[in-house]
């Protein structure tokens, strides 16, 4: 007999897993099918920020910015292990000129033509004042002005930058966020099916009959309602998988990043303004590196793997070299990655101007309903899920209301300010850990680090050492609790240990995982 669900979700990114968690917590039976690994596309290729989107104020997307600003602190409380506050330094000097064509710049060019090509300091400060106050901050400190000639943040920059504004946003481990939402959804009763492709979905007798492919096996399930959270493939699912006549479209925008050796010796990030009106971040990354990004380029085919092109790489290098005293070259790059943002096609003239807001569309003309998800930001994933449940609720009378705000994700059951204490306690209890190793484990697993290490008295008790503090015990945890099946899942999504491991270590890890799965 076919498995029957209330809700079946196509896509195991942040939107799909966030909706699954919310829906399962309201008592719906939920299935999630992800054709690859969780967060294997857009949701692991972000700039890793929970942020309001300062630049979106120039496009007058005030509602989106306000919602995102409010969410920053809601999310910090729910996941203090994988997210944390970060200060951003925005360097400024009077001769900075831009060629941007945002609504704000067009108004300035008309009203004050002598300011053409500039974002004046007062305008930036006004934007930051709004940024500080739209979301009702309680945890994060507000904006202040820096004299770059007097503070460490000015040392890496060219001498022409004497002034900067410093404001708050937050860091997030994006792919771990997806996995933790999936785990919590499963705890609440959802079925999480990775490496499971939806071949077709057809309306039949008032429900969806969904054909799934798992390896070389196929099976069918049924659902009262379908959610299309396919990310870059949302359009293909509409036209191909469910064969809908929906006219809503998706605009694929590629964002590329480069990771370099560490460029500065403090823990603050830089928000850099380009002469073309775009912005770029330079962010402390994985202790020893700096993350630079992102670009905005149209991407035509979701099945074409996004890669950082030479042109994008050179653009980012040229961009940051106008700010930093030390020139960065290709030789400084240790890794690059790209992701495709599935934005709602609002007809914007450029990829940069396309809306980052989410759009939810229900179609029920053919009987069983489907909800198509377009766009969204990782910062507002929880609000998107709540909005999705608002659209779903009419089809499930008596459904309970929102519940996820402030509810901790697995491992996040401690206060924002207690992180260092947890690291100290873990280091003390498991004396074989180095302080850096203990910090990495708490950053990844929070209070569950104790469960992972339970019973170990020496490092040898953790089994095979794969390098970079990755052990057999941790790999087993990731396979048993976090859906990991390949070395890539472990070292590039559940962690970023791939930056520190050589090819021999990676091969040993893959061999171990294959043998362990064969024995299962």
Q: What is the DSSP string of 242-274?
A: S-------EEEEEEEEEEEE---SSS-EEEEE-
Partner residues linked to 10 by β-bridges: 33, 228
14-40 tens-digit pLDDT? 999 999 999 999 999 999 999 999 999
360-417 tens-digit pLDDT? 999 988 789 999 999 988 999 999 999 999 999 999 999 999 999 989 999 999 998 8
Query: Which regions of the chain carry the CATH code 3.50.50.60?
Result: 3-43+175-249+355-395
Q: Which two tokens stand for residue 72?
A: 């920053």
Q: The CATH number of 416-519 is which of 2.120.10.10, 1.10.8.870, 1.10.3720.10, 3.20.20.70?
A: 1.10.8.870
| Cβ atoms of residues 229 and 373 within 8 Å | yes
Secondary-structure percent of the chain, ordered helix, strand, coil, rounded to 5: 40, 25, 35
Query: Which regions of the chain carry the CATH code 3.30.9.10?
Result: 84-171, 253-338
Q: What is the mean pLDDT of the chain?
A: 91
Q: The CATH number of 3-43+175-249+355-395 is which of 3.20.20.70, 1.20.140.10, 3.30.70.870, 3.50.50.60?
A: 3.50.50.60
Model confidence at 101: pLDDT above 60: no
| Cβ atoms of residues 277 and 58 within 8 Å | no
Model confidence at 115: pLDDT above 50: no
161-170 tens-digit pLDDT? 999 999 999 9
Query: Which regions of the chain carry the CATH code 1.10.8.870?
Result: 416-519
| Cβ atoms of residues 179 and 79 within 8 Å | no
Higher pLDDT, 351 or 189: 189
The pTM of the full predicted model, rounded to 2 decimals, is 0.93
Cis status of the peptide bond prior to 83, with omega within 30 of 0: no
Give the domain 253-338 fold. Answer: D-Amino Acid Oxidase; Chain A, domain 2 (3.30.9)
Instruction: Look at the alpha carbons of 46, 49, 51, 53 in this order and tell me if their dihedral is positive or negative.
Output: negative
How far is the C-alpha of 309 from the C-alpha of 297, rounded, in Å? Answer: 10
Q: Which two tokens stand for residue 453?
A: 């290490």
Model confidence at 154: pLDDT above 70: yes
Cα–Cα distances (Å) from 63 to 52, 103, 124, 361, in that order, read 10, 16, 19, 19
Model confidence at 512: pLDDT above 90: yes
Q: What is the pLDDT of residue 133?
A: 87
Cα–Cα distances (Å) from 54 to 127, 174, 393, 400, 402, in that order, read 7, 19, 33, 34, 28
Q: The CATH number of 84-171 is which of 3.40.50.450, 3.30.9.10, 3.40.50.720, 3.90.1150.10?
A: 3.30.9.10
Q: What is the pLDDT of residue 111?
A: 40
Could you tell me where the DSSP H helices lie in 336-397?
381-392
Q: What is the pLDDT of residue 28?
A: 98
Q: What is the pLDDT of residue 27?
A: 97
308-351 tens-digit pLDDT? 999 999 999 999 999 999 999 999 999 999 999 998 887 665 66
| Cβ atoms of residues 258 and 264 within 8 Å | no
């Amino acid at each position: 007999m076919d498995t029957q669900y209330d809700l079946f979700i196509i896509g195991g990114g942040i939107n799909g897993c966030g909706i699954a968690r919310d829906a399962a917590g309201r008592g719906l039976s939920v299935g999630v099918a992800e054709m690859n690994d969780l967060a294997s596309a857009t949701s692991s290729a972000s700039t890793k920020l929970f942020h309001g989107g300062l630049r979106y104020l120039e496009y007058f997307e005030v509602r989106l910015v306000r919602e995102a600003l409010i969410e920053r602190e809601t999310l910090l409380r729910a996941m203090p292990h994988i997210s944390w506050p970060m200060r951003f330094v925005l360097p400024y000097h009077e001769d900075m000129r831009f060629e941007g064509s945002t609504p704000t710049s067009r108004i300035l060019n008309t009203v004050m033509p002598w300011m053409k090509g500039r974002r004046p300091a007062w305008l930036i400060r006004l934007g930051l004042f709004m940024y500080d106050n739209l979301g009702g901050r309680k945890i994060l400190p507000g904006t202040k002005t820096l004299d770059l000639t007097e503070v460490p943040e000015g040392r890496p920059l060219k001498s022409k930058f004497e002034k900067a504004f410093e404001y708050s946003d937050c860091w997030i481990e994006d792919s771990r966020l997806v996995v933790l939402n999936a785990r919590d959804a499963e705890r609440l009763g959802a079925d999480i099916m990775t490496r499971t492709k939806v071949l077709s979905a057809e309306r039949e007798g008032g429900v969806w009959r969904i054909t799934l492919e798992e390896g070389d096996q196929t099976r069918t399930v049924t659902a009262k309602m379908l959610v299309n959270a396919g990310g870059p493939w949302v359009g293909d699912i509409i036209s191909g998988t469910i064969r809908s006549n929906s006219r809503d479209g998706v605009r694929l925008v590629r964002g590329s990043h480069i990771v370099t050796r560490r460029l500065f010796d403090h823990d603050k990030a830089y928000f850099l303004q380009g002469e073309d009106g775009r912005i770029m971040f330079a962010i402390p990354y994985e202790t020893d590196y700096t993350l630079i990004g992102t670009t905005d380029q149209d991407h035509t085919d979701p099945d074409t793997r996004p890669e950082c092109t030479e042109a994008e790489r050179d653009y980012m290098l040229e961009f940051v070299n106008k700010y930093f005293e030390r020139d960065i070259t290709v030789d400084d790059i240790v890794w690059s990655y790209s992701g495709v943002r599935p934005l709602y096609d609002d007809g914007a003239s450029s990829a940069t101007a396309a809306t980052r807001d989410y759009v939810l569309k229900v179609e029920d003309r053919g009987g069983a309903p489907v909800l198509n998800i377009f766009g969204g930001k990782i910062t507002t994933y929880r609000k998107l899920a709540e909005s999705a449940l608002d659209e779903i609720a009419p089809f499930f009378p008596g459904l309970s209301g929102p519940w996820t705000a402030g509810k901790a994700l697995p491992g996040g059951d401690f206060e924002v300010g207690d992180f260092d204490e947890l690291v100290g306690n873990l280091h003390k209890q498991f004396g074989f850990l180095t302080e850096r190793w203990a910090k990495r484990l708490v950053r990844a697993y929070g209070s569950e680090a104790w469960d992972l290490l339970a019973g170990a008295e020496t490092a040898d008790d953790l089994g095979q050492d794969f390098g970079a503090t990755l052990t057999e015990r941790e790999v087993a945890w990731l396979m048993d609790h976090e859906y990991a099946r390949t070395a890539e899942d472990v070292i590039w999504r559940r962690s970023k240990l791939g930056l520190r491991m050589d090819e021999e270590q990676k091969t040993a890890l893959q061999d171990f995982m294959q043998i362990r799965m064969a024995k299962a």
